């Protein structure tokens, strides 16, 4: 048992708190810029393909652990995640640590050949902590305060809470940082919910000070003469996440929340790395399309990304799920982990249908095809009580297998067999990049202008035809290095800073093909309108601009170089201004302001081109538009001929490639391998037919194209 720390709220701590809250830190906090450029991290030990589970030994008598672990081995489980909600057991009293039970759990797992990912338990503070320091509790935007018994009831801005989190993370790392059975660390669990407490407000004022320097500068960039918003001091600026509010404030709120979460994660990562071997990775697990913070920023200092892949209604939209894998792979531009997924069903949706037989395995192989190196199921066994009694598990409360157990065991056997082939492979680099700008998403979500305009749906619409035709797509932040991509699409790049515009221009001039979607180039980095109309600083390259725009309440006919189609949700009247800017699509007649007006412009620039589409197209039209883009940019055909309902993915190591085929449909599908390819795993292939819900892997020898 070690000494209590920090000292219980005494005079010294109070003084430190006052100093911290009143003065900007000596190292200006904005020095950590919002750049998404990843630092070079030392290599961690790459995992072979692994199947794992969340295991909560603290919820069971120790006498049952052995039987659970033995059964896990039977399921082919090779990694468990544990500890992420066990703070009350790890530190039963302030500064008194009890690692005995977790020592034994880690050692026992090791004896069964199961490796461990340790979660820092900071998503669930013990009651003694929040009782002694009620100021660490999370305050909602409406002023209500979270209490004990739930989780995530802490403020991300609380310096006191941070000190406790760093201490427990550091103590755990001191104990397990060199433990050969521990392969990595997960910081907290699904971070993201902001707090609006007193300390958060003080941090907000400091963050604004660091960003703007003078309040006059903020007033200018935010145009605060609108509605007499003019501020005299930074601490007058309200901490708000939703409108009606100044768009610059709303975007800055997201940046501020991103900054605090990145700092929260970085502090724990630093505490861990002080003691841990570099072979242990450090990550955090994120939720799908988590909109609370900038994922690129939070992942900047982590070794790998990890996400929790759930299909609450049990009806997978395979392409949307593929996109999400590609989005997460983009956070670090490398392989990732599925830290949680469902063994059959969840318990938190409106209607928690189970996946059908075979689909749990399909989900796993889809994830691997898209870059996951490990798939962990949440959870092994349901606690007898607690909030999640209805969730899917591998074994029942009796410790005996549930129906999905065998399917997961089969998947684990296959992964073990395929590991030697797929080790050190990554999804093959794409020829197409899709820019996912979280800032643009936030800007549009704050001012949708149409209830039907959903920026994530637009991104998904643009992604879908590429994926359905078997084209690989890398999803990247707007400031990513675009060298080597033949085609870059930016579905709704609403926020376009001058810097990003310059980089995109350079990309095009060097021979790249850039296609912008509606609402692009409307705002600068302060979420202020560009005075020169859309696409703002890219207007001169395009030789055109958006003359007028408005949301649509029904389909509008459109005719384009790729065929006739309909626009819906959004329409923009485009105006070519340069002689060599081509009009390649027009809205039909009798369509209000859109009648007969240009809807698609394109101009050749340098060795490349830039195009702008001023509409959201129906699915068929988007498909044809996509094929047109592919032809214009001369994107090479995919290795496998597309088959409806079958997803083909490639992982590569140098010139060697591996095809993963997953039949998501209810009927067998005919597939043919390219010349030079041979099956590695074909239990689900009969003749040349891939069974319904079947999975198969093939190897393509060097140099085959």
User: Which residues belong to the active site?
Assistant: 190, 340
Nearest CB to ligand GAL, comparing residues 303 and 308: 308
For the bound state, the minimum distance from the C-beta of residue 306 to ligand GAL, rounded and expressed in Å, comes to 11
Which residues are registered as beta bridge partners of 285?
Answer: 306
Nearest CB to ligand GAL, comparing residues 394 and 685: 394
Nearest CB to ligand GAL, comparing residues 393 and 494: 393
- Pairing of the two strands 336-341 and 372-377: parallel
Q: Which of residues 345-404 bind ligand GAL (CB under 6 A)?
A: 346, 348, 378, 388, 391
Q: Is the link from the previous residue into 631 a cis peptide, with omega within 30 of 0?
A: no
**Residue 342 DSSP class:** -
For the bound state, the minimum distance from the C-beta of residue 344 to ligand GAL, rounded and expressed in Å, comes to 11
Nearest to 311 by CA among 271, 238, 363, 357: 363
DSSP code string of 317-334: -HHHHHHHHHHHHHHHTS
Total number of residues binding ligand GAL (CB under 6 A)?
10
Nearest to 518 by CA among 589, 560, 461: 461
Nearest CB to ligand GAL, comparing residues 116 and 552: 116
Longest dimension (CA), the chain: 80
For the bound state, the minimum distance from the C-beta of residue 392 to ligand GAL, rounded and expressed in Å, comes to 8
Dihedral in degrees, nearest 10, Cα atoms 124, 127, 131, 136: -10
For the bound state, the minimum distance from the C-beta of residue 348 to ligand GAL, rounded and expressed in Å, comes to 6
3-state class (DSSP) for residue 576: strand
For the bound state, the minimum distance from the C-beta of residue 378 to ligand GAL, rounded and expressed in Å, comes to 5
Nearest CB to ligand GAL, comparing residues 122 and 591: 122
Give me 472's structure tokens: 């690989």
Q: What does the alpha-carbon distance between residue 241 and residue 443 come to, in Å, rounded to a whole number?
A: 12
Q: Which stretch binds ligand GAL (CB under 6 A): 340-348, 454-462, 500-508, 678-686?
A: 340-348
Dihedral in degrees, nearest 10, Cα atoms 202, 205, 206, 211: 160
Q: What does the alpha-carbon distance between residue 189 and residue 191 come to, in Å, rounded to a whole number?
A: 6
For the bound state, the minimum distance from the C-beta of residue 310 to ligand GAL, rounded and expressed in Å, comes to 6
Which residues are registered as beta bridge partners of 559?
Answer: 564, 586
Nearest CB to ligand GAL, comparing residues 404 and 556: 404
Phi, psi angle pair for 393, to nearest 5°: -145, 170
* 3-state secondary structure labels for all residues of 330-383: HHHCCCEEEEEECCCCCCCCCCCCCCCCCHHHHHHHHHHHCCEEEEEECCCECC
* 3-state secondary structure labels for all residues of 125-167: CCHHHHHHCHHHECECCCCCECCECECCCECCCCHHHHHHHHH
Place of tokens 């989900």: 363
For the bound state, the minimum distance from the C-beta of residue 24 to ligand GAL, rounded and expressed in Å, comes to 35
Nearest CB to ligand GAL, comparing residues 239 and 376: 376
Nearest CB to ligand GAL, comparing residues 81 and 519: 81
Give me 577's structure tokens: 């201004």
Binding mask 172-201 for ligand GAL (x = CB under 6 A): -----------------xx-----------
Contacting ligand GAL (CB under 6 A), which of 91, 171, 188, 308? 308
Q: What does the alpha-carbon distance between residue 450 and residue 295 come to, in Å, rounded to a whole number?
A: 26
| Binding footprint of ligand GAL on the chain (CB under 6 A) | 189-190, 308, 310, 340, 346, 348, 378, 388, 391
């Amino acid at each position: 048992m070690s000494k209590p720390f920090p000292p219980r709220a005494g005079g010294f701590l109070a003084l430190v708190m006052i100093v911290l809250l009143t003065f900007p830190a000596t190292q200006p906090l904005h020095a950590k810029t919002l750049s998404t450029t990843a630092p070079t991290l030392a290599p961690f030990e790459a995992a072979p393909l692994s199947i794992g589970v969340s295991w909560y030994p603290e919820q069971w008598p120790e006498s049952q652990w052995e039987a659970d672990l033995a059964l896990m081995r039977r399921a082919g489980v090779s990694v468990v995640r544990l500890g992420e909600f066990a703070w009350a057991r790890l530190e039963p009293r302030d500064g008194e640590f009890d690692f005995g039970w977790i020592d034994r759990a880690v050692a026992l797992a090791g004896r069964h050949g199961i490796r461990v990912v340790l979660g820092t338990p900071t998503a669930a503070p013990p009651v003694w902590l929040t009782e002694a320091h009620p100021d660490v509790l999370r305050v909602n935007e409406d002023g209500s305060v979270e209490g004990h018994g739930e989780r995530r009831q802490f403020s991300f801005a609380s310096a006191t809470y941070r000190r406790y989190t760093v201490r427990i993370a550091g103590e755990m790392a001191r104990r397990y940082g060199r433990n050969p059975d521990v392969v990595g660390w997960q910081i907290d669990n699904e971070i993201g919910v902001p707090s609006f407490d007193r300390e958060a407000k003080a941090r907000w004022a400091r963050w604004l000070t660091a960003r703007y320097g003078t309040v006059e500068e903020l007033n200018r960039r935010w145009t605060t003469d609108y509605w007499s918003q003019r501020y005299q001091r930074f601490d007058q600026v309200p901490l708000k996440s939703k409108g009606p509010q100044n768009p610059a404030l709303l975007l800055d709120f997201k940046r501020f929340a991103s900054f605090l979460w990145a700092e929260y994660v970085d502090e724990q990562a630093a505490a861990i790395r002080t003691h841990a071997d570099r072979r242990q990775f450090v990550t955090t697990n994120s939720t799908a399309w988590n909109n609370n913070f900038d994922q690129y920023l939070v992942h900047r200092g982590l070794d790998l990304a990890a996400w929790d892949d759930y299909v609450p209604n049990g009806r997978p939209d395979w392409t949307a799920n593929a996109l999400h894998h590609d989005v997460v792979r983009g956070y670090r531009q490398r392989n990732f982990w599925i830290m949680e997924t469902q063994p059959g069903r969840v318990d938190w949706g409106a209607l928690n249908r189970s996946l059908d037989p075979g689909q749990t395995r399909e989900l796993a192989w889809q994830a691997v095809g898209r870059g996951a190196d490990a798939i962990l199921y949440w959870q092994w066994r349901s606690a007898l009580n607690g909030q999640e009694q209805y969730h899917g598990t591998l074994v029942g409360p009796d410790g005996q297998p549930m129906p999905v157990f065998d399917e997961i065991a089969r998947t684990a056997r296959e992964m073990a067999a395929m590991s030697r082939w797929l080790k050190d492979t990554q999804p093959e680099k794409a020829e197409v990049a899709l820019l996912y700008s979280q800032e643009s998403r936030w800007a549009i979500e704050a001012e949708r202008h149409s209830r039907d305009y959903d920026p994530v749906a637009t991104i998904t619409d643009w992604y879908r035809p590429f994926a359905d035709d078997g084209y690989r797509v890398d999803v990247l932040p707007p400031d990513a290095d675009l060298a080597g991509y033949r085609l870059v699409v930016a579905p709704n790049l609403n926020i376009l800073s001058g810097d990003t515009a310059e980089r995109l221009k350079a990309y095009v001039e060097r021979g790249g093909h850039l296609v912008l979607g509606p609402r692009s180039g409307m705002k600068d980095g302060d979420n202020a309108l560009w005075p020169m109309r859309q696409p703002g600083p890219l207007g001169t390259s395009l030789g055109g601009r958006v003359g007028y725009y408005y949301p649509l309440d029904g389909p509008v006919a459109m005719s384009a170089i790729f065929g006739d189609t309909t626009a819906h949700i959004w329409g923009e009247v485009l105006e070519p201004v340069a002689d060599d800017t081509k009009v390649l699509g027009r809205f039909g007649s009798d369509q209000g302001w859109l009648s007969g007006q240009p809807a698609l412009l394109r101009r050749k620039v340098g060795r490349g081109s830039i195009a702008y589409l001023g509409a959201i197209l129906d699915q068929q039209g988007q498909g044809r538009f996509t094929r047109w883009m592919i032809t214009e940019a001369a994107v090479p055909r995919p290795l496998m001929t597309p088959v409806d309902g079958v997803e083909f993915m490639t992982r590569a190591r140098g010139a060697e490639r591996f095809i993963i085929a997953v039949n998501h449909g209810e009927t067998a599908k005919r597939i043919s391998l390219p010349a030079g390819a041979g099956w590695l795993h074909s239990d689900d292939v009969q003749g040349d037919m891939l069974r319904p819900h079947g999975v198969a892997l093939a190897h393509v020898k060097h140099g085959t194209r």
